[in-house]
Amino acid sequence: MTQTDPHGVITLHLNGVEQIVRANLNLAELLILSDLPTQGVAIVVNDTVVPRSRWMHAVCQADDNITVFSAVAGG
């Protein structure tokens, strides 16, 4: 894992696209800043599903692989 850039930014991958974002950004903020929906989605960080209740507390780290999925119910 790389260290935080001295300018206060980190690099991560969001839905397969490299993004440069400010350090200490939480998942909820990342969705808003990326113009992604905050309802009806699930977030996976480094192959681990992050519950919605943790989005405000889960801080993005350098080199994270973050995928936002549309949550679909059905059978």
Strand ranges, E, within the chain: 9-14, 17-22, 41-45, 48-50, 65-70
Domain CATH for 35 = 3.10.20.30
Residue 56 lies in a domain: yes
Q: Taking a C-beta distance cutoff of 8 angstroms, is the pair 64, 45 a contact?
A: yes
* pLDDT, tens digit (0-9, with 9 covering 90-100), for 18-29: 999 999 999 999
Q: Please report whether residue 28 resides in a domain.
A: yes
CA angle 12, 69, 13 (to 5 degrees): 10
Residue 3 maps to a domain: no
pTM of this structure: 0.86
Range of the domain at 13: 9-70
Instruction: Encode pLDDT of 14-62 as tens digits.
Output: 999 999 999 999 999 999 999 999 999 999 999 999 999 999 999 999 9
In a domain, 50, yes or no: yes
Q: What is the number of structural domains in the chain?
A: 1
Report if residue 13 sits inside a domain: yes
